[in-house]
A = this chain, B = another copy of it.
Amino acid sequence: MISLDANSSPTPEELPPEIDGLRMTKQRREVFSVVLAERDHPTANDVFSRSQKRMPTISLATVYNCLEALVSHGLVRQVNFEREPSRYCPNLSDHCHFQDQKTGTIHDVVFKEGVNLADFLELPQGTEVSHLEISLKGRIGSN
List chain A positions with a Cβ less than 8 A from chain B: 78, 80, 82-83, 86, 96, 98, 101, 107, 109-112, 115, 117, 119-142
Contact = CB atoms under 8 A, between A and B. Distances in A.
A130 B138 contact: yes
Contacts of A132: 134-137
Given A121-B112, A124-B107, A134 B134 contact: yes
Contacts of A138: 127-131
Rank and list the top 9 A-B pairs by shortest CB-CB distance, nearest first.
A126-B141, A131-B137, A115-B120, A129-B138, A130-B138, A110-B122, A128-B139, A128-B138, A133-B135
Instruction: Give chain A's interface secondary structure class.
Output: strand
Contacts of A111: 120-122
10 contacts: A78-B82, A96-B121, A109-B122, A117-B136, A127-B139, A128-B139, A128-B140, A131-B137, A132-B136, A133-B134
A127 B112 contact: no
Contacts of A137: 129-132
A106 B111 CA distance: 25
